[in-house]
Structures are given as C-alpha cells and as structure tokens.
Structure 1
Amino acid sequence: MRSLRTRLLLTFAGLILAGFTTLAVLAGGQISSGTVEDFNTQLKEQAGIIARALKEPVEHTYEGETSQTALLIALQAYAGQDNVQVGLYDRNGRFWLDSSGNTSGATDTAELNAALAGQIITDTRQDENGRTVVYAAAPITEDSDLLGIVQLAAPLAAAQSLVSRRWLTLAGGVLGITAVAVIVGLWLAATLVRPLEELQQAANQVAQGNFSQRLPETRQDEIGQLSRTFNHMAAQVETMIAEQRAFAGNASHELRTPLTTIRLRSEALRHNLVNADTARDYIVEIDDEVQRLGNLVQDLIMLSRLDSGRLEAGQEQIEPVRLAQQIMQQLSAQANAAHITMTLDAPPELPTIAAGLSHLHIVFRNLLSNALKYTPNGGTVHWRIAVEDSALHHTIRDNGHGIAPEDLPHLFDRFYRADKSRSRAVTGVGLGLSLVQMIVEFYGGQIWIESEGVGMGTAVHVRWPLPKARRT
C-alpha cells in the first residue's frame, strides 16, 4: 500500500509534469512553425542582400568588364558566407551559373516567376537528390530595369536541426522545472504528512495505554485543529479511564464491605455463636446489606437500560408527598446514626405524576442519601416540594460540606466524585448523580445543583413536569 506521502508526491509531480508537457507540446508546435517561418524570412532577406551586391558584377559582365570566372568566385563567396547554394539567372530567366559551377539548372519555378515579376518569395520542394530544399529568388535591378535573378537554395534540414535544438532546450526546461517541482513536492508532502505521522504515533501511544500523550498545538490551520481535537479526545479518554478505575475500586469496595458483613454475620448465626438479641441485630444488618446491594445492582441495571435506550417510561400515579415520606423512612436509620434532622415541607394536596415508582425511588433516594452522606453529625436536611411554573419543584437542601466551584460543572459526569479527600469515608461509586440526571431528563425534567462553596451547604433542585390536566 502506497503511503500518503508517496501519493501526494506522485499526484503533485504528475500534475506538474502533465501541465508542463501540455504547454511544451503547444509551445513546441509554435516553435516549429515559427522556426520554419523565420528560416524562410531569413532566406528571402539573404536573397535580397545578395541581389543588391551582385548588381555591379552582373552589369560589368554584360559590358564585358567582368569575366564569368570572376562572377563564379563572387557567387562562391556569398554561398560560403551564408551556407547556401547561390544560382544566377539572366534577365530573361535563363539559368546562367551557380556557386557549384553548374551551367544548367531548373527554370520556370514559382520563386523564379515571382522574381521576374519583381517579388521575393520562397518555395519548398525536393531537389534531384530527394532532399527537401527551400528556394528563394530575388530580382537584380538597376533603376527598375531587370538585370537578372539570384536564387538561394538551403536544405530544410538546417531549419529542422534548429527546431530539434529548440525542442531539446524546451524539454530540458520542462524536466528541470519538473525536478524542482518534485523537490518542492517532497518538502510539501513531508510538511503535510509529518503532523499526521506524529498523530499516528500519538494514537498508538494512547492505544498502548499512555493516555497522557499530547500533540503540540502551535499550528493555526486544519492540522492544528486536528491536534487540538486529538488532545481534547486524549484528555477525555484519560479522564474517563481514571474515573473508570476509580469506579472499579469504589464498586469493589461497595460490594466487598456488605458481602463481608453478610458472611461474618451468617457464620456467627450458623454456628450459634451469639445470643438471641445479637442474632436479631445480625439479621437486621444482613437485611440492610442485602438492601444496599440490591440498590446498587438496581442502579447498574437502570444505567445499562438508559444507555441502550431500552428503558420504558412508567405510568404509575405517584403521590409526591407519600413518595418523599417513604424514602425518608428508608433512610431514617442513616440519618439517626449521624444525628441528622430530616424535615419535609409540602402542601397536603399535590398533583400526582405519571412515572415508574422504581425510577422515582432511584432519583430521590440517591439525592437524599447524598445529602445525608455529606452533612456532618448534628446537621439538617430539608426537603421542599411545591408547584411552580406547571411543574413539581423539589429542593433538597443541607447544611453540609458544600461543593467547590470548580467541581460544580462535573457533578453529573459519570464516575466523578467531588469529595476525593473523603473517598474512603464516604461510600458510593460515582454513578448516582449521572443516573439521576439521565432518569430526570428521560421524563422531560430538569436537575441542577447550587452551592456557595465549601462549608456552605448544598441545594439540589429537581423540576418534574406535570401533565396539563393536573397543573394547579
């Protein structure tokens, strides 16, 4: 499998090469036609120059002052100078001689006829040897009188050689630019891929359990945003793993303590090691621990159902005051053990709500149990219920330890425990408030917590919506 770096490089180099090749082909066509056109133009200009230079020698030849040998020498001089074959025709268009010493040659050609008419043109055709030759002819005149015609013949191979050299130059330029583009592409690919490789390495570190792995956040582009997103994800994973480990420890403690109590008490009862009064106390303790384990298992089952979307809303008609009294009665032993006073403030007639009784028990048992856990001996816990804004508003307020401002936003996070310094003394696995929030919101309600700070107590508010027909 090709790497991203290779694919980027091949794509970049391929696009550059294709683009410049297309431009080179288009430019090469222009170069080819332009070179041949320039070659023809230069040949016509050379013919005109030589025609003007031969005016006096031709006049002297007609007058007998210059021999034909001297004229041949002049033609050879011009031919050698311009690398062409020079032919000379008389004023009637008959072949005279050429720079090779020939005294016979072609007549009645396009360029010769044009020269007889006073024009200079070129004509490309094959010579007797099969070569492609460009011919140009220019009239030799004296005061508009035609003295003769000079004809130049140059092989087209000379122009084609020039075209080939220019093509090679163009191809060299394209290859050079492509080489530079490849170097730039290598640098660009490395620049783009390096952060992704760092991200891959960091992800591998996280996969191997190094949850503290982070990426630098120096860039301000999409890659920088990706790094910040990865760091946020890694921090979330690190926090979640830490909380899950704490949950595992707390859960094992929550399970081990009642199981140990049940085992010790049951052994004592089985072997008749205690008297009747102590046996009754042991049975009560076993019942309490079983109830505690049952509540924990019920919470875990409820959380699983909420996570999987399998929880069904209950339709039982629940009386709020009776529900509150039942829960306070269930937790009275916990309150009495710490000499905490629990009070209930609710009007005698409150509308019933449609919900699952077990769901409401989980919500308010957790909230009231938390209030008792974090209230010192001799404190108070007050539960108020009232109808406000078409909803039942529950407020459970204590004068306990309170909550630090930095902990308030995280209280409903799963496995989070704000009072870590008392984690050994206070039971719980860090799921209670998260479960409570999920149940309340499942029924369309709201829950929030207020605390002015550590040592200032806590107030938990639950707003439970009422059906329209029962709002008072």
Structure 2
Amino acid sequence: MLALAFLIPLGLSLGGQAREEAIADAARRSALVTGALAVSVEPAVVDRAIEASGDDPATRPVVHGLDDVDAEAGRADAGQLDRARAEGRSLVVEVDGGVLRLDPVVLGDRTAVVEVFVPDEALGGSGRWWLLAGVALTLVGAAVLVVDRLAARTVDATRGLVTAALAVSDGDLGVRVEPSGPRELAEAGHAFNRMAERFVAARTEERELVADLSHRLRTPLTVLRLDAEALESDDTSVDAFSQAELDHRRGIRRIRQAIVTLEGEIDVLIKTTRKAVATEAAPAMCDVSEVVRERMVFWAALAGDQNRPHRVVGAQLRIPAPVPRAELAAALDAVIGNVFRYTPQGTAFEVAVSRRDGYVAIRIDDAGPGIANPDRALRRGESDQGSTGLGLDIAKRVALQANGSVSIDRARLGGTSVVMLLADPEATPRQVSRFGLVGRMAREAREQKGSGRRWSRQRPTNG
C-alpha cells in the first residue's frame, strides 16, 4: 500500500512533466520555422528551417497557408486550422497517436499556421508505468524479506511459548521458556516462568498440607489400633462357637484388618505427598490382576458376612497398567465399596479383568437396583444417594491418569456395570493423526465426552 500510495502520484507527476517538456520542445522547433517565415516566405528558406528543426520527418513542422509549400503531410484538419487563425494564439489539440501544436503566423493579408506533431512516446506513455511497477515490486519484495527476517525472532518466541504451555498442560511442570523476541513477548515469557514456578510451589504446599493432615490421623489411629489389640482373640478355629460368637469374632478380625489397611494407606499418602513436584517420577506400574486379587481378599470376607455371592474373572494372568498400585487399589475400593453401600445385603457382584484393543478393562457388575442418572454419578461431588459423590470420581481420575476412561452401563446381572479402561503399556502404539493445537483440542473434547454414557433403557429402582 505504501508503494502504491507513493508511486502512483509519482507516475502521474512524471507524466505531466514529460508532457510539458515535449510540448516545450515542439514550441522550440515551431519557433525556428515561424522565425524563418518572419524573414522570408521563399520555399527554400522555409524548407531549410524545417530541416533544421529535427531529424525525424514524422515530427518536423508543417506549414499551412503558403501556396508554394506542400502541407499535405500535416495531421490537422481544416476546422483546427481555422480555429488557430481565428483565435490568433498557439493551440494544443489531441489527435490519434499524440498531440499537435498549432502556431498562427500573420503574413500580410493572410495567416499561415505552423503545425508540430508530438507522438505519445514523447509525452511519456506506458513505459514509465512499467518502470514504476518494477520499482514497486522490488520495494515490496525487499520489504517482505526484511520483515520476514525481523519477524522470525517473534515467531520463534511465540512458538516456544505455545510449546511450553502445551507441555505444562500435559503435566510437565519442569518446562521453562527462554524469554526472547520483542519486549512484550519477552515479558510474557518471564510471566509464564513465574506462573510455572508459582504453580509448582502451590502444588508442593498443597501436598505438604495433605501430608501434615494425614500425619495428624496417626494419633487417633494408634489409639484405635491399641484398643483393637486389647479386644479378645479373633480366632474362630480354636473351639466350637455359636453363630453370634462367630459373627463377633469375625467382626473383630475385620476391624483389625481395616486398621492395618488404613495405616498402610496413610503411610503411602504421606510418602507420596512428600515428594517434590519438580522431581516427581513417571507413573508407577502395577499388576492389575494382583491388585484385584489382593483387594478381593478383603472384600470377600465382608461379602461372606452379608451373604453376597461374588466371583472374580480373568485375574489369573499378569496384566500391567501405568498407575501406582495404591491408587488403583483405592479406585477399586471406591467402586466396590459403593456396591456394599448402596445395594441390599445378599446382592451378588462380579469383578472381571480383561485386556484387548490396547486397553486393560476392569469391570465391576452388581445385581442391585442400578443408577438412575449415570451422567450425574460421574460428576465430582454429586450423588443421588446423599453421599459425598467422590467415589466414582476417584476411579475416573485414576483412569484418566492412565490415558483411559470410566463408563457406567447396565450390567448383565441386572444392576450397575462400572468399567474402568486403562491404557495397556505393552500394546502396539496406534498411529494417531495430529493437526496441531486444533486437533489436540478436538481429541481431548472427544475423550471427555466419552468418559460416560447414558443407558439405552432405565431400570426402575425398587422401593
């Protein structure tokens, strides 16, 4: 735009100047002939003056109004000549191929007219526009090259900032940017580094607070453990007992097992939260089958007391998953605990483990009344049963940590089926099409949308 705004007026100005110079040159050549006519009207004198005015026969002056001079080579018509004689002054008129300068000369009782033709090339035709177009293209090309080189630092700084932001969103809290580029981008880089440092510090403080609160639980837990140890023996094989006595001793055994499990969970929680965020290790690996078997030993005892039929399917072989052992155990306890909490005693349940299509699936089915609103049950802090609504959210967070998901469906047993999908670390990676930031956001939206689904039919709950 600057080139056009500068060169178009320049071209017009140059065209006007060239026209003026060409007409002035025509006036000079016409003056040579009019001067000769003022001295003599002899044909020989006039011809010498005409030849002296220029070498190009097409642009030499032509004299109209002399009997002894051939004026047929002229371009002016009778009307233009009569006008020049009538006005008694020089005229410039447009004709095909250029302009004519007509100068009247009074010779006694008659008036001669000297005609000088100026072609378009002499007036500054299209040649100057081609020259100016070339200058404009050269200026624009040079400007693009200079701006591109100057903007390279800005583009690199922006790209680095975007890459660092995406890395932080993926969980890499140790990434930092080297502030560079224009002042505004450099300030944005410093602000990003400060934000990342503050985020790490805030997360560390939060984990320390959780660790401190967990440590404060040890005092009442120790008292509870001592009181449990002071109870009578929980051995049910030393003698014959009544059903009430057997239930009493089994209850003492469950209390002691729960205390041991709770102590272990608190120890894991304290050790985990004490880790500095900047030096956190990658997600630990665990054997899903082993965790399922271990937790079912605990829940099977309680299921036996409540007359709940249960079984475990597919937990014989080793099946790895990229989640810490304690977190997977907590997720299983949260889902199985919901079965015991929200279904009547005697309700059957099943825990199945399978592995296919790049995922490890953990399915917990029950024969209870089901869940009326599966979508709401998967939202954190919401529950139709009056609880905290955090049980399924724990399972969901563990699944997302393993690049998986959680879904709720109708179980074959008739009740609820909760399925946790965990990425299989030993599966062959699939090729995923990536289209920059837009494609990344689209995939994340699809994953979040697929974290839960509605049932095709609702089973009415029993009052």
Fold equivalence (TM over 0.5):
no
TM-score (norm: length of structure 2): 0.42
> Which structure is richer in relative contact order (CA contacts within 8 A, separation 6 or more)?
1
TM-score (norm: length of structure 1): 0.41
Larger-Rg structure: 1
